[in-house]
Structure 1
Amino acid sequence: MKLLYKLPKSKPNLHLDLIKNGWIPMKEPKNLISAILLSIPLMIVASMISIGVINIFSSISWRDFGFTSGGISININLSVILGIVFLLIIHELLHLMFIPNFMKSEKTSVGLTLFGAFVMTEEKISKPRYMFITIAPFMIISVIFPLILSICGLLTTTIKFLIILNSMGSSVDLLNVLLIMKQVPKNATLTSNGANTYWKNALAEQEG
């Protein structure tokens, strides 16, 4: 596993090798800004899912976050800032821990930039596992976690905020899952070259 301090770029030589060996590039947003813009509807849907889960056992309203008829009052304290930093770390660790042999993998990277953290891997991964790796932080933090905390009576306003924030931050992950579902066959294998994703039919992969 490698530690990076900037987003890795696609390697032209690796791209040619992948194409030569039958790997097919996915049609994806060309950059992070495009991906974020395309994922805005999913951001709303994901937030509503988390709010719905929270509402099963606990109440939630705009007033909890400082929105009232008299205006907006938002208090950002040290605990909230630390919570956001902790959330970013946990989100990326949940991606990382489900990558096969991530500790020993020389093709897996953990990145830290001024804009946040990221996890990338060039390991060859089956479609179901790749999708699970991609969606795991949303499912665990924004769906399963609030259910457990609600039952235990530990769902505070700050934690509700962080759960919904994670849902919003997971929108690009959800977009990637939808793109994979639409473009990649059931039994395919996926790999990456920088920010670009490629797939190959499982039978073709065995032959190759």
Structure 2
Amino acid sequence: MKILNKLPKSKQSLHLDLINNGWVQMKEPKNVRSAILFSVPLMIVNVLISIGVINIFSTISLSDFGLTSDSISITINFGIILWLALLLILHELLHLIFIPNFKKSDKTFVGITLFGGFVITEEEMSKSRYIFITIAPFIIISVILPLILSVLGLLTPTIKFLILLNAMASSVDMLNLFLIMKQIPKHAILKSNGPDTYWKTQT
């Protein structure tokens, strides 16, 4: 595992090697900005799913976040900033820990950029494992966690805010899920070259 301060770039030599060996490059947004833009509808869907989950055992309203019909009250302090940092780390950690042998892998990269954190691995893996890695932060933080905390009576307004924020931040992950489901056959294997994804049917 390597820690970087920017997204790794795709390597032309690796691209040519993959293409010559029967790998197919997946059609994806060309950059992070485009991915965020295309994922906005999924951001809304994710938030609605999380709100629905929270409402099963608890309640959620605008007043939880300092918003009422006649006033807006938003407080930003060091505690909130710390929670946001921890959420970012947890989100990326949940991607990372499900990558096979990530500790020993010299093809797995983690880091933080202006647009948030990232985890990229150039290790080969099955489509099902790739999908699980992609959606793990959303499922665990924004679906399973609110259910558990609701039952325990620990779902505070701050935690609700963080759960919804994670749902929004997971929209690019959901876009990747949609692209994988649409373009890649069931029993294919996947491999990344920097931010680019390739697939190949297993023989």
Same-fold call, TM > 0.5?
Answer: yes
Distance in 1, matches of 2:77 and 2:183, equals 44
Deviation of 1:129 (Å): 0.4
Q: Which residue of 1 aligns with 2:126?
A: 126
The TM-score, its normalising length taken from structure 2, stands at: 0.98
User: For 1:52-74, what per-residue CA distance to the aligned partner results, in whole angstroms no more than 9, with x for missing partners?
Assistant: 10111111001111211113211
Deviations along 1:26-74, whole A, 9 cap, x unmatched?
A: 0000111111111000000000000110111111001111211113211
Structure 1 range deviating more: 96-105 or 74-83: 74-83
> Once the 2 structures are TM-superposed, how far is the Cα of residue 172 of structure 1 from its aligned partner?
0.2
Is 1:86–2:89 an aligned residue pair? no
- Counterpart mapping for 1:11-50 below 5 A: 11-50=11-50
Letter of the 1:150 counterpart: S
Q: Are residue 61 (structure 1) and residue 61 (structure 2) matched? A: yes
1:145-178 C-alpha deviation (Å, 9 max, x unpaired): 0000000000000000000000000000000001
CA drift of 1:79 comes to 1.6
Amino acid at match of 1:141: I
> Which ranges of structure 2 fall in alignment gaps of 5 or more residues?
none
Supply the distance in 2 between the matched residues of 1:131 and 1:48 (Cα, whole angstroms): 21
Q: Does 1:158 align with 2:142?
A: no
Gaps of 5+ in 1: 204-208
Q: Provide the rounded CA distance (Å) in 1 between the counterparts of 2:41 and 2:115.
A: 22
Aligned partners of 2:112 and 2:181: how far apart in 1?
Answer: 29
Residue 116 (structure 1) shift:
2.5
Q: CA deviation at 1:87?
A: 0.2
- Secondary structure of the 1:123 match is coil
Given the two structures, how large is their TM-score scaled by the length of structure 1? 0.96
The match for 1:142 is 142
- Asked if 1:77 is matched to 2:81, the reply is no
Q: How far did residue 113 of structure 1 move?
A: 2.8
In the alignment, the residues of structure 1 paired with residue 183 and residue 99 of structure 2 have an alpha-carbon distance, to the nearest angstrom, of 21
Q: SS at the partner of 1:72?
A: coil
Aligned length: 203
Which whole-Å CA distance do the structure 2 matches of 1:24 and 1:92 have between them? 27
- 1:9 aligned residue: 9
Give the SS at the match of 2:191: strand
Percent identity over the alignment is 70
Is residue 190 from structure 1 mapped to residue 183 from structure 2 by the alignment?
Answer: no
Residue 14 of structure 1 deviates from its aligned partner by 0.3
How many angstroms apart in 1 are the aligned matches of 2:56 and 2:120? 35
* Distance (Å, rounded) in 1 between the aligned partners of 2:42 and 2:95: 19
The whole-number CA distance in structure 2 between the counterparts of 1:173 and 1:79 is: 27
Say which is worse superposed, 1-10 or 111-120, in terms of deviation: 111-120
Give how far 1:121 is off.
Answer: 0.3
Runs of 4+ aligned residues of structure 1 deviating over 2 Å after TM superposition are: 112-116
Equivalent position amino acid for 1:72 in 2: I
Letter in 2 for 1:178: F
Distance, in Å, in 1 between the alignment partners of 2:34 and 2:160 is 28
